[in-house]
Structure 1
Amino acid sequence: MDDLAAPQLSEQSSHYPARVPLGRRPLGILGSALVARRNVLELIPEIATRQPMVSGRTGKRWHMVMDPGALAIVLKDRVDDYPKSVVTKLLLEPAIGQSLFVAEGAHWRWQRRAAAPAFAQRHVEALAPVMTAAAEASRRRLASATGPVDVFAETVAATFEVISDVTFSGGEGFDRDAVHQAIDSYISSAARLSVMDILGLPGWIPRPGRVRSGSDLKRMKRVADDAIRARAQSGPRPTPDLLDLLRAGQDPETGRAMSTGELRDNLLTFIVAGHETTALTLAWALYLLAFDPQVQDRAAAEARGVLGARAATAADVPRLPYLRQIVDEALRLYPPAAFLSRTALIHDRLCGREVRPGDTIMLPVYALHRHHMLWEDPDRFDPDRFAPGAPRDRFAFLPFGAGPRICIGASFAVQEAVIILSTLVAGLRFGLTARAPEPRMILTLRPHGGVWLTVTPR
């Protein structure tokens, strides 16, 4: 990307956890495309962590917005004037169609109203026993491990177990391995930006990676369709799961319910978002606890004081405030959705700069969460930033977005993360190895090469 040269900052010391090397020089179109395929976050100029807004042109005009007031305009006040960007839709529509994450306007609103009851707090808490069982199983697996462990692989296994059970609890016709493999394949290949995306070329021009992923996506959708049809024949579970709740959901204003295709696309959205993002949060949190043993010991003391030797439940979550602070700090330093984008439909001014229709509005959550005007010593790991009463601008911390399109599953994700993390740290100690994780964003902010830690019983 073209921009002003960023100020040269000293290298991160051992006092700071792993950080993305942000841009320090102009890249141009081809350079931007190559960098984006490796790590989207490296497109962010370092100067974006010190200014409210940065603008430029790389094929198309773009603006990176880090100012909380301007972010409130884009995400809350004028949502319809700043829809999801064309590139976002190109990346995600092949996998999840016009589901809640991608849909706009009236089509998004009726789906949100229909799905909202499924994510009411009472339903989230009713699904907690699945999270508790997954936490216990994860602790057993880690306790029996010998040598360094890739805890990211473990948290992916645990959270996929949760989302599979709360989505298709009966398991009728639901091939979990096939769905998991298809999701992983799509993220690793088709979900990468191409030079055609950077240039702003229209979506009808095929992107080779997304064409090659077609067979995996068709299989994934077929598996989900089969499970939905099987549930229609067998009827709801005694304790409704997410599929039952969404099948029963209706838009209270129009009475419209989701078709099989709409159910499938939304369920696949929740499966992808519901395990990937929580798995990442947990893996990064465990890395941060290994990085700072004092914080880990304080977290373990809280968890052991509440839980003893048992696994956490939904009722324990309010009694584990420091564990929640650690989850929030992990979400600040390594937000899974670390880079969002919108397309302006109107003439506007943000941070005093002109915005034209068609401009791309980038919301670099990673830079926002490490902004020097918003956070003290922003690259430092400090869960006490989120202590009760600590001052913070609402639009300075956006791990789940904000406004009417805030993530519908945010409370589900936080509950799951606290349950699993507290269960693990109560009984296990995590330590660093020589293999430091490397934060890279493709579709989400992943630890390239895994998160390798030592694991020992407490």
Structure 2
Amino acid sequence: MERTAAPHRRHMPPTELLPVQVPLHRAPLGIWGSFRAGRRNLLELIPEIATHAPILSGRTGKRWHMVMEPGALRHILRDRLEDYPKSEVTKLVLGPAIGKGMFVAEGADWHWQRRTAAPVFTHRNVSALAPVMSAAAEAAAARLGQATGQNVDLFEEMVTATFEVISDVTFSGGAGFDRTEVHRAIERYIGGTARVSLLDVIGAPAWLPRPGRMLTGGGIRDTKKLADAAIKARRQSGASNPPDLLDLLMEGADPETGQQMSNEELRDNLLTFIVAGHETTALTLAWALYLCAFDPAVQAAARAEAQSVLQGRTATAQDVGALPLTRQIVDETLRLYPPAAFLSRTARAKDRLLGREVQPGDTILLPIYALHRHHALWPDPNRFDPSRFAAPRAVPRFQYLPFGDGPRICIGMSFALQEAVIVLATLLSRFRFTALPGRAPKPVLILTLRPEGGVCLRVDRA
């Protein structure tokens, strides 16, 4: 592996004064070591030097390049988008669940789906969906109110809350499908199908079956059948009132061609929103509550802000702009624990990145976790400091990528941020969260960056 010299390190506070992080490896892993690390925790594939170097190159089966420099990331994600499609591993992992939805589609197929779906996520439509988020926040607060003085797994609680939101805004309350069964299927999928295979590490062709994924696809197939039935029923019954995401997508058309989504395309994109939409926001909220418990002073300031604005009621879309500290906590949480902490692309054309030759077929790794903790880009990068985002426009683009960037930036970004602020402000205004000794969560990346062991905190009335 080629290495770039690391800059002089600044003095860092002792580890116990920092929120939990993953110890990154300092020696080459090799093929077998990479496989074991990837099965255990994808973050362990990132070398420690990645938080100091702009680019690393090597070979583990296939040639790969790990990129941490904002200019090169702009080149990959925006300037040469067509030359760096989603990697084959990404498609192998996500394809069974989301088919040919826009998250994995490429070229013209992606362009028309994106154009069709973009109006669904306008500020007006996202704001119109906020009452569902407020209702989920109120329900979460009611559940926690029954558990005051107790230790609660806030990750599990946030998964429940955000799944209520995504099922309500996707299928108007979940009529026509079993919420519990869909949620279980997604859990089984992420826990098994999404894990790295040795065949992925050595660069085996996509047509070669990955046994682990063959064994865990039943739940997803059942979920697709449920979604198909719900779409068919909606076509027969007509739009709900107010319209939900399914209605908006069914009504949408490509402004350039007039093409509308087929039932299969509707299903694949709705499953994309369900799989990604609730899991990522639940993780953001769970990690944010962990960080607030880790730093009681920040929690107290955010509580004072929320109580001043909300005056005992549940947060709404209209309150989001009046909760700057809450939003800063969300942004800093996404820096330290980005749900999509490791992205990959496959080079389609010959190129050069920061002086390194790139050949067609090379794997381009984008370790967002390392980018967000890079010592050349962030002062004291492992420290929890929401004030970094007090002036968010001052943070240079492409050094902060919790939602990606360029034309393929996450289409649901504004939806997720609005939901996170509404739920977090509502909970902080009513409860105090305290860390439990010896119960810090461990960041583990399978498909998303999850807290192994949950986020167990003591919950008390504020």
Structure 1 residue 288 corresponds to structure 2 residue 291: yes
Structure 1 residue 377 corresponds to structure 2 residue 380: yes
**What is the Cα deviation at residue 170 of structure 1?**
4.9
| CA deviation map 1:177-216 (0-9, x unaligned) | 1111111000000100110000010111111111012211
CA distance 1:188–1:401, shift in 2 (3 Å): same
Q: Which residue of 1 aligns with 2:457?
A: 453
Structure 1 residue 120 corresponds to structure 2 residue 117: no
Structure 1 residue 304 corresponds to structure 2 residue 269: no
For 1:172, the aligned partner's letter is A
Structure 1 residue 159 corresponds to structure 2 residue 145: no
Instruction: Give me the whole-angstrom Cα distance separating, in 2, the residues matched to 1:74 and 1:421.
Output: 34
Q: Which residue of 2 aligns with 1:423?
A: 426
Question: Which runs of no fewer than 5 residues in structure 1 stay unpaired?
Answer: none
Q: Which residue of 1 aligns with 2:29?
A: 27
Indicate if the aligned counterparts of 1:438 and 1:449 stay in contact, CA closer than 8 A.
yes
Q: Which residue of 1 aligns with 2:92?
A: 90
Instruction: Give me the whole-angstrom Cα distance separating, in 1, the residues matched to 2:123 and 2:345.
Output: 30
Q: How does 1:311-390 map to 2 (within 5 A)?
A: 311-388=314-391
Structure 1 residue 104 corresponds to structure 2 residue 106: yes
Misfit runs of 4+, over 3 Å: 2-12
For 1:118, the aligned partner's letter is V
**What is the Cα deviation at residue 32 of structure 1?**
0.2
For 1:253, the aligned partner's letter is E
Instruction: Give me the whole-angstrom Cα distance separating, in 2, the residues matched to 1:171 and 1:25.
Output: 49
| CA deviation map 1:232-278 (0-9, x unaligned) | 11100121000000000110111111111110010000001110000
Indicate if the aligned counterparts of 1:6 and 1:25 stay in contact, CA closer than 8 A.
no
Q: How does 1:239-318 map to 2 (within 5 A)?
A: 239-318=242-321
TM-score, length-scaled by structure 2: 0.97
TM-score, length-scaled by structure 1: 0.98
Instruction: Give me the whole-angstrom Cα distance separating, in 1, the residues matched to 2:288 and 2:107.
Output: 36
| CA deviation map 1:306-351 (0-9, x unaligned) | 0011010000000101100000000000000000000011111111
Q: Percent identity?
A: 65
SS, match of residue 394 in structure 1: coil
**440, 443, 456: which is aligned to 2:444?**
440
Instruction: Give me the whole-angstrom Cα distance separating, in 1, the residues matched to 2:398 and 2:5.
Output: 24
Instruction: Give me the whole-angstrom Cα distance separating, in 2, the residues matched to 1:446 and 1:48.
Output: 21
Indicate if the aligned counterparts of 2:22 and 2:443 stay in contact, CA closer than 8 A.
yes
**What is the Cα deviation at residue 4 of structure 1?**
5.6
Q: Which residue of 1 aligns with 2:182?
A: 179
Indicate if the aligned counterparts of 1:179 and 1:220 stay in contact, CA closer than 8 A.
yes
**63, 66, 71: which is aligned to 2:65?**
63
Q: How does 1:2-17 map to 2 (within 5 A)?
A: 13-17=15-19
| CA deviation map 1:94-152 (0-9, x unaligned) | 11011010000000000000111111110000000000000011011112115211000
Indicate if the aligned counterparts of 2:152 and 2:459 stay in contact, CA closer than 8 A.
yes
CA distance 1:389–1:139, shift in 2 (3 Å): closer
Instruction: Give me the whole-angstrom Cα distance separating, in 2, the residues matched to 1:399 and 1:307.
Output: 28
**What is the Cα deviation at residue 288 of structure 1?**
0.2
**What is the Cα deviation at residue 391 of structure 1?**
2.8
Indicate if the aligned counterparts of 1:5 and 1:26 stay in contact, CA closer than 8 A.
no
Q: How does 1:406-421 map to 2 (within 5 A)?
A: 406-421=409-424
For 1:374, the aligned partner's letter is L
Instruction: Give me the whole-angstrom Cα distance separating, in 2, the residues matched to 1:136 and 1:267.
Output: 25
| CA deviation map 1:142-171 (0-9, x unaligned) | 121152110000000000000000000053
CA distance 1:389–1:99, shift in 2 (3 Å): closer
Instruction: Give me the whole-angstrom Cα distance separating, in 1, the residues matched to 2:413 and 2:256.
Output: 24
**What is the Cα deviation at residue 396 of structure 1?**
0.4
SS, match of residue 155 in structure 2: helix
| CA deviation map 1:355-381 (0-9, x unaligned) | 111110000000000000000000000
In angstroms, what is the RMSD of aligned CA positions? 1.5
For 2:415, the aligned partner's letter is F
For 1:18, the aligned partner's letter is V
SS, match of residue 71 in structure 1: helix
SS, match of residue 201 in structure 2: helix
SS, match of residue 174 in structure 2: coil
Instruction: Give me the whole-angstrom Cα distance separating, in 2, the residues matched to 1:23 and 1:143.
Output: 42
**131, 134, 137: which is aligned to 1:132?**
134
| CA deviation map 1:371-413 (0-9, x unaligned) | 0000000000000000026732111000000000000000000
Indicate if the aligned counterparts of 1:172 and 1:230 stay in contact, CA closer than 8 A.
no
CA distance 1:279–1:6, shift in 2 (3 Å): farther
**210, 221, 224: which is aligned to 1:221?**
224
**What is the Cα deviation at residue 3 of structure 1?**
6.3
For 2:262, the aligned partner's letter is S
